[in-house]
């Protein structure tokens, strides 16, 4: 195996994770995604002899039958110290997102576990890539660290199930979490649970300041890191990184939407609650050209960028204006996939997603400005939701997500004492003084 | 509050436990590359073809009697394709770009 120098840790981690503690790989100096032949040839020349040796040198005894890995079963109580010492201990082991944590004491974890009827040792599954056991207690520990309330436990359990049950290759935020593309999990919450746990869907829906939006995404990030084992610079090779990885969680404003909510569109009942995930790389916002359907939709296709999966977030007034002129969500998806086009000359030889090798496209697509190429080949790559406050902005999230028809939504199961729990925690909301 | 911050807190481990996984060795090597069928597996990310074309060119130049077979597929090639490749090649190079 030949790898770029910067990916040595990643290579070893992937190999060990798959049960191969010893691997022959050759770090090369070829820059990633290089298309300059001089650079490629220089890097390959330097590595060629090593490559031939790796293919032909007889195996060592250790390579033939490596020692089996020992069971990793560390102490349940991992540390004892002050608030500051706990935070530093966790940070220095790479178990946080860089911000201070709430110490996961027995008492705090027991309190968090009141948010579920499932026993602490209940195993949801093993999260890729390190195949860490996702037990209810481990989810609760990470939830405490993130500052979550016990009423978020059903959402976090559903989010973890969603990662576990995703299609092959996407299980446990592996493909998007490992990628150099810095894709961030974006969680949309639908159904009655949204209001019961106060997930913001209105003014500044994507901004910090609401505990549910902040802590749910943060907790999922810690679950991915500490249970699944996706760590920055080792497994997560995102080149630029992404601030959306701290937490990107919103609810849909179902009450003010003229359309069926996302979870109903995906086959769930209105009174059920769900969590839906995608993996955007980019979040962009813009004004419409006008507040009517033409002004809104022309602006959407004017500002659209290349990607794989799209979520468009319309404010309630824009959604209502579109619906008043007869536009359904399906109409909008079809319109965007038909008219979001770029000149052939902008296309170069980069394949649209789902396409084959770039070489298959070379010379086969017109490079004339007068010919255009559709940015989105399939309306199922588009998702439309309603959220945001007063004002005229439209938001796009652009990036990755499930293959159409594959799992992207999970039902949120509530514990028997849900109403009592909601009553206990529902009033924890910020109240701003007037000045 | 300050006193409470300094109290000794006993905290739980956030990391998921994992079971021991059986360790597998790597495939036996070929003695030399001359006359061999050498597979190149690549998941088809943009520009990777330039890299593998260069490798293929060098292999053919240095080992003229060897045959180079190219394969494409997802990052994780899966059992079926792995079994097919195992029948068709004597040794192989595996590449993933992401």
User: What is the ipTM score, two decimals?
Assistant: 0.86
Place of tokens 């082991």: A93
Of the listed ranges A5-14, A110-119, B25-34, the least confidently predicted one is A5-14
The nearest CA of chain B is from the CA of A213 a distance in Å of 21
Give CA–CA dist A5/A9, Å, rounded.
Answer: 9
The model carries a pTM of 0.90
Helix (H) or strand (E) holding A327: none
A147: left (phi over 0), alpha (psi -120 to 50) or beta: left
Percentage of residues of chain A with pLDDT beyond 90: 69
| Strand bridging mode A274-286 / A394-400 | antiparallel
Closest Cβ–Cβ partner in A30, A137, A359 for B51: A30
| Strand bridging mode A372-374 / A341-343 | antiparallel
Q: Is A380 on the interface with B (CB under 8 A)?
A: no
Say if residue A121 is exposed, middle or buried (CB neighbours under 10 Å; 0-12, 13-18, 19+).
exposed
- In A308-371, DSSP assigns E strands to 309-314, 341-343
State residue A353's pLDDT score. 40
Q: Residue A354 — very low, low, confident or very high, per pLDDT cuts 50/70/90?
A: very low
Q: Is A61 on the interface with B (CB under 8 A)?
A: no
Asked whether the beta carbons of residue A56 and residue B31 sit closer than 8 angstroms, the reply is: yes
Q: Is A360 on the interface with B (CB under 8 A)?
A: no
Contacting residues of B for A142, CB less than 8 Å apart: 14
Specify the higher pLDDT residue, B21 or A9: A9
Look up residue A189 and give its two tokens.
């919450």
Asked whether the beta carbons of residue B17 and residue A30 sit closer than 8 angstroms, the reply is: no
pLDDT tens digit sequence for B42-86: 887 767 778 888 889 999 999 999 999 999 887 778 888 889 999
Look up residue B38 and give its two tokens.
């050498």
Contacting residues of B for A87, CB less than 8 Å apart: none
Contacting residues of A for B12, CB less than 8 Å apart: 76-78, 104-106, 109, 137, 141
Place of tokens 């890995």: A69
Would you tell me the crossing angle of helices A211-223 and A136-146 to the nearest 10 degrees?
130
- Contact status, residue A234 vs residue A139, Cβ threshold 8 Å: no
Contacting residues of A for B14, CB less than 8 Å apart: 90, 95, 104, 138, 141-142, 145, 222, 226-227
Calculate Rg over the CA atoms of chain A. Answer: 24
The nearest CA of chain A is from the CA of B81 a distance in Å of 15
Say if residue A434 is exposed, middle or buried (CB neighbours under 10 Å; 0-12, 13-18, 19+).
exposed
Chain A, 261 to 320: residues with Cβ < 8 Å from chain B are none
Q: Is A28 on the interface with B (CB under 8 A)?
A: no
Q: Is A226 on the interface with B (CB under 8 A)?
A: yes
Beta bridge partners of A250: A188
Contacting residues of A for B10, CB less than 8 Å apart: 77, 79-80, 105-106
Q: Residue A71 — very low, low, confident or very high, per pLDDT cuts 50/70/90?
A: low
């Amino acid at each position: 195996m030949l790898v770029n120098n910067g990916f040595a840790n990643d290579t070893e981690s992937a190999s060990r994770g798959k049960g191969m503690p010893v691997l022959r790989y050759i770090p090369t100096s070829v820059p990633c995604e290089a298309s300059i032949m001089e650079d490629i040839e220089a890097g390959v020349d330097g590595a060629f002899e090593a490559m031939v040796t790796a293919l032909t040198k007889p195996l060592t005894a250790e390579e033939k039958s490596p020692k089996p890995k020992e069971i990793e079963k560390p102490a349940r109580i991992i540390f004892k110290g002050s608030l500051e010492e706990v935070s530093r201990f966790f940070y220095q082991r790479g178990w946080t997102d860089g911000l201070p944590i709430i110490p996961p004491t027995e008492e705090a974890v027991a309190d968090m576990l009141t948010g579920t009827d499932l026993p602490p040792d209940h195993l949801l599954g093993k999260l890729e890539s390190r195949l860490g056991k996702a037990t209810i207690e481990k989810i609760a520990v990470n939830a405490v660290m993130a500052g979550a309330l016990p009423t978020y436990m059903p959402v976090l359990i559903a989010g973890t199930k969603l990662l576990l049950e995703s299609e092959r290759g996407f299980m446990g935020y592996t493909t998007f979490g490992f990628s150099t593309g810095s894709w961030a999990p974006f969680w949309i919450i639908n159904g009655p649970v949204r209001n019961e746990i106060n997930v913001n869907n209105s003014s500044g829906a994507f901004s910090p300041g609401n505990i549910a939006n902040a802590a749910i995404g943060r907790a999922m990030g810690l679950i991915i890191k500490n249970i699944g084992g996706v760590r920055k610079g080792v497994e997560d090779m995102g080149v630029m990184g992404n601030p959306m990885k701290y937490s990107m969680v919103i609810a849909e404003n179902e009450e003010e939407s003229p359309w069926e909510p996302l979870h109903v569109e995906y086959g769930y009942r209105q009174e059920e609650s769900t969590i839906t995930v995608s993996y955007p790389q980019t979040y962009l916002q813009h004004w419409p050209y006008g507040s009517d359907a033409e002004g809104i939709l022309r602006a959407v296709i004017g500002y659209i960028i290349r990607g794989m999966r799209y979520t468009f977030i319309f404010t309630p007034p824009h959604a209502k204006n579109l619906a008043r002129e007869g536009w359904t969500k399906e109409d909008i998806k079809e319109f965007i996939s038909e008219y979001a086009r770029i000149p052939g000359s902008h296309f170069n030889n980069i394949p649209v997603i789902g396409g084959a090798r770039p070489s298959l496209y070379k010379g086969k697509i017109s490079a004339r400005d007068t010919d255009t190429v559709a940015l989105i080949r399939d309306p199922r790559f588009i998702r439309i939701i309603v959220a945001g406050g007063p004002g005229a902005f439209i938001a796009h999230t652009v990036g990755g997500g499930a293959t159409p028809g594959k799992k992207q939504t999970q039902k949120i199961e509530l514990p028997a004492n849900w109403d009592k729990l909601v009553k206990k925690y529902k009033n924890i909301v910020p109240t701003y003084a007037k000045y | 509050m300050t006193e409470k911050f300094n109290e000794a807190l006993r905290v739980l481990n956030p990391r998921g436990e994992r079971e021991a996984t059986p360790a597998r060795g790597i495939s036996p090597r070929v003695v030399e590359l001359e006359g061999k069928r050498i597979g190149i597996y690549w998941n088809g990310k943009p520009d990777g073809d330039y890299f593998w074309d260069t490798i293929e060119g060098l292999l053919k130049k240095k080992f003229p009697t060897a045959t180079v077979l190219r394969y494409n597929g997802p990052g994780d090639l899966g059992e079926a394709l792995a079994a097919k490749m195992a029948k068709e090649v004597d040794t192989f190079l595996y590449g993933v770009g992401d």
